[in-house]
Amino acid sequence: MEKKFVVLAYANASPFPYHAWTPLAILSLGAYLEQYGIEVEYFDERIHKKERFKELVRRRPLLVGLSTMTCFQIKNTLRLASLVRKINPEIPLVWGGTHPSMCAEQTLESELVDFVVKCEGEQTLLELVQALQSGNNDFGAIDGLGWKNNGKNVVNKDRDFLNIEDLPFPYDGKGGEILAEYLKKTDTLENIGYESSRGCPYKCGFCYNVFFHKNVCRVKSLEKIRAELLKLKALGVHKMTFYDDTFLAGKKDIIHNICDLLKELKFEWISNVRINLFTPELLKKFKDSGCVYLFFGVESPDDEVLKFIRKGQNRRMIDEGIRIISQGKIKTLYSLMIGLPNETEAQLYRTLDFADEIRRLHPGAEVPIQPYVPLPGTSLYEEAAKAGFKAPTHLEGWKNYTNDEIKHPWVKNKKLLNAIYINTFLAFRYERFLKGFWSGLIFGPLNKLSLWRWKNRNYKFFIELYLYLIYKRLGRLFIFSEKYLKSTRS
């Protein structure tokens, strides 16, 4: 039987103008397939024109793989799936990523889904491709696969974790072409991603990790990381982001070794780290090794809330971490969360006041405040259900399931949470995402208004929300900066 190629697609994941990052969710799978001689083509909606996707589908691939998270991305992924069905309804649609993994049975109920690849998908997708190539329609032996058997949805047993040392470098083969496209984008530091570990040792109740990785942490060996970072250097990468859920799983001895390696190779880099990990010595190590940006999920200033969400840290640890980090010169983001089940009004306003405190202690830090989103498969999802949350009953129902679509029955003032979310983005993330000549003409005045609103906690006549909704429905037709214009023309 003729061997056909495979299409792996990644839809736009955010209505906000966040900088696009290389989509390791599909590149890792593609590199794995390529090492077995399978031809792969990629579609990344953030850098490719839709005509490319249509052309690939018209060439009748063996399957189209679609990766999606539980967010705005589902809406765009459904649109791509519908397009495939319209062009050629015979092409199998294979869904993977965090949302299909956590809602496999429900995802399979959609007419726009033929297969679901659960959790870590490299080997599962390979075996599915091999079965389709051979004409074998009995998929029952493929671990980690959801499929349709004569009208009945079947989800096979979970697959064991792969040996992370055996995973191929994601930018080998066709992945290098997407890397080259992202290297042309000079508007951001974080657009090239690298994965040095999988999994997280912590058990935050709002995070996908407990379900997806089952708290199993696998860190690549120093030798493998060195070899892959050298490959990145050879490909022209000097600035990159560690995609690890927690940088190197928070293992200090490995972190010290990798920092030495990053300094030796002269990388500029970004990572997500636990705030209670830091000492003045480690902060200096990060700075000396080229770290230019740090992300911290601090979530709340309230010990009762931190315990409820199983954060594994307390206010004392957070305060000490902020004190240490503010002494350095690394740009920093501290993420906060509101709208949790059983949240009191006093807790909400303590979180807002804490954002001010963070910015006093660490001037210039980004402090976005995001409404809680119940993710299926997480422990807090069960708490949300107890508090009256009604989950969508079908895949299509999740398409508007985002931070700005607050449907929680326990939230009395949903517009206030929406306003805070948009307000803190415009007020505290303007410098990073919206500042530029053309975008400044539009968003400069909104930034000033947002800073005034934040200072006065005044959300009356919140026109920013309506402007945002118009922008969102127009499908990101605005151009946000001169740098973005240059990157799209190059």
Q: Using one digit for the tens of pLDDT, what is the confidence trace for 156-196?
A: 999 999 999 999 999 999 999 999 999 887 655 568 999 99
Q: Indicate if the pLDDT at residue 476 is higher than 60.
A: no
What integer is the mean pLDDT of 48-62?
A: 96
pLDDT at residue 433 in the model:
74
Gap between the Cα atoms of 377 and 220, Å rounded: 27
Q: Letter for the amino acid at 34?
A: E
Residue 312 contacts residue 204 (beta carbons within 8 Å): yes
Query: If you average pLDDT over residues 131-160, what whole number do you get?
Result: 95
Q: Is the pLDDT of residue 489 over 50?
A: no
Q: How far is residue 416 CA from its own chain's centroid?
A: 25
The alpha carbon dihedral of 121, 21, 88, 74 has a sign of positive
**Nearest C-alpha neighbor of 425 from the set 484, 487, 480:** 480
Mean pLDDT of the chain: 90
Query: Which domains does the chain possess?
Result: 6-155 (3.40.50.2300), 164-489 (3.80.30.20)
pLDDT-derived band at 482, boundaries 50, 70, 90: very low
Q: How confident is the model at residue 16 (pLDDT cuts 50, 70, 90)?
A: low
- pLDDT score of 71: 81
- Helix 437-456, helix 482-489: angle, nearest 10: 140
Question: 81-100 pLDDT, tens per residue?
Answer: 999 999 999 999 999 999 99
Residue 477: predicted pLDDT: 44
pLDDT bin (cut points 50, 70, 90) of residue 141 is very high
pLDDT at 139 over 60: yes
Residue 37 burial (CB < 10 Å; 0-12/13-18/19+)? Answer: exposed
Q: What is the pLDDT of residue 18?
A: 60
pLDDT of residue 407: 78
- 12 has pLDDT over 60: yes
Whether 131 has a pLDDT exceeding 70, the answer reads: yes
Instruction: Average the pLDDT over 307-317 and give the result.
Output: 96
More confident residue, 442 or 343: 343
Judged by average pLDDT, the poorest of 224-228, 264-268, 317-321, 441-445 is: 441-445
Residue 454 is classified by DSSP as H
Give the pLDDT confidence score for residue 110 in this predicted structure. 97
Provide the percentage of residues in the chain whose pLDDT is more than 90: 74
Nearest CA to 120 among 20, 45, 32? 32
Q: What is the pLDDT of residues 356-379, one digit of tens each?
A: 999 999 999 999 999 998 988 899
Residue 184: its pLDDT value, please?
85
- The pLDDT-based confidence of 299 (bands split at 50, 70, 90) is very high
Q: Specify which of 111-120, 398-407, 442-451, 461-470 reaches the highest per-range mean pLDDT.
A: 111-120
- Within 123-194, strands assigned E span 145-149, 152-155, 193-194
pLDDT of residue 354 exceeding 50, the answer is yes
Residue 475: what pLDDT? 52
What pLDDT score does 485 carry?
38
pLDDT band, residue 478 (cuts 50/70/90) = very low
pLDDT in tens, 240-274: 999 999 998 888 889 999 999 999 999 999 999 99
pLDDT-based confidence at 294, cuts 50/70/90?
Answer: very high
Compute the residue count for the chain. Answer: 490
Can you give the three-state secondary structure of 278-339, one letter per residue?
CCHHHHHHHHHCCEEEEEEEEECCCHHHHHHCCCCCCHHHHHHHHHHHCCCCCEEEEEEEEC
Reading the block at residue 310, the tokens are 């199983």
**pLDDT at residue 19 is higher than 80:** no
- Do strands 193-194 and 239-242 pair parallel, antiparallel, or not at all (unpaired)? parallel
Q: Provide mean pLDDT across the span 211-233.
A: 94
pLDDT greater than 60 at residue 467: yes
Q: Which residue has the higher pLDDT, 63 or 138?
A: 63
